[in-house]
Structure 1
């Protein structure tokens, strides 16, 4: 309800300020280029098509046409901040950064500008505390709950006892990939399993050393916070060392 009131209030302010040219301004931070372009293009196209549908079929939203302003970030944090700075004063209603790194940087900026951020299943998990983070909405899940779900699944597979088991986290070496670490560390203390951390540098094509370490240390389970080409490379490397796929568990972006 708070988000709905915020969006409505912003839309009213924009329409009052510019009655002759009233429109709903929605910036679209996309990444059609760069290493993660194959992931970003379908979303960018679908997002643009949906607002085009609303404009053509319904005359916009509430009688106001939607002006979708696309800005290319290439999944780069600095470019994402530049996109925000270039569009924030255009009457922008809401931002979807589509990147945990960009989201971290935009939280204080968007809050100061009184513009809400939607970070659906990504971003800063602690921002779920609305008393502290008033302008960011991270639904329907977050990376802490994802880490808990992974361990709960392993507990189910092991009959409720994973003391002494080994769990490896293969993660994208970025703000996104690091989000579950503290939760997994706390769960390791609680349940008595051994956690190993294996970062993979952008964009994720080089993983030989990580999977050689997995072959040496023989973890019982591997969980992965991957993105883009990192995912397919990890699956191939896991197959190369004959790691049991039923024990290889990925977060939703993997």
Structure 2
């Protein structure tokens, strides 16, 4: 939608942080495309939301935290009313923006990623984790293993490997795996995958030696 064709008082700017470039371009491009298609649908089918048309601008940060913060700073004041919300699409960017967004009174939404302890809204009132987080994703894995083995009591003495990316979203899983290992009596080994996670051959040989 061209800005000069619309009344800015009847528009709401929505920032679109994405990574159509970089190691995770396949995921970032799909998310951005879907989000923009949906906003286009709302504008064309419904006339926007309550008569307010949605306008947006992309900022491709290539899954680089520093560039993600730059995108936030560049887009947060766009439009007549500024940006009401950001979806960082990155745990590293989420960590970097939580205090900034709180100071700016801009909501951060993170769907299945981000800072897990931001689930406590008393501490992080401008952070909104939705659907899942790294902790309940990890506990679900343990529940699945226990179900396959015949119960949580069967976990005692087992060896489990937590293969995770050596990056904020991989590191987020470590505390909850350690807590569950202590609670249920299994042995957990954390194996970090070097960024960007493409070459894993030596790591799987290491896992084979552990025999989880």
TM-score (norm 1): 0.77
Write the distance in 1 (CA, Å) between the matches of 2:198 and 2:137: 24
What secondary structure, in the 3-state scheme, does the structure 2 residue paired with 1:145 have? Answer: helix
Deviations 1:92-146 (A, max 9, x none): 0110001111111111010100010110111000000010000011011111111
Number of residues of Structure 1 aligned to a counterpart in Structure 2: 201
Write the distance in 1 (CA, Å) between the matches of 2:14 and 2:110: 15
Write the distance in 2 (CA, Å) between the matches of 1:20 and 1:113: 21
Deviations 1:175-229 (A, max 9, x none): 001111100001101111110011111111111221111111111xxxxxxxxxx
More off after superposition, 152-161 vs 127-136: 152-161
Match of 2:207 in 1: 214
Write the distance in 1 (CA, Å) between the matches of 2:72 and 2:33: 20
Write the distance in 2 (CA, Å) between the matches of 1:20 and 1:77: 31
TM-score (norm 2): 0.91
Write the distance in 1 (CA, Å) between the matches of 2:73 and 2:12: 18
1:37 maps to which of 18, 25, 50? 25
Write the distance in 2 (CA, Å) between the matches of 1:20 and 1:199: 48
Write the distance in 2 (CA, Å) between the matches of 1:141 and 1:38: 21
Deviations 1:149-196 (A, max 9, x none): 111111112222211100001111100011111000011011111100
| Structure 1: gaps (5+ residues) | 1-18, 220-254
Write the distance in 1 (CA, Å) between the matches of 2:53 and 2:9: 10
More off after superposition, 201-210 vs 97-106: 201-210
What secondary structure, in the 3-state scheme, does the structure 2 residue paired with 1:149 have? Answer: helix
Match of 1:147 in 2: 138
Detail structure 1 runs of 4+ shifted over 4 Å in the superposition. Answer: none
1:166-245 correspondence to structure 2 within 5 Å: 166-219=159-212
Check whether the contact 2:10–2:51 (CA below 8 A) recurs between aligned residues: no
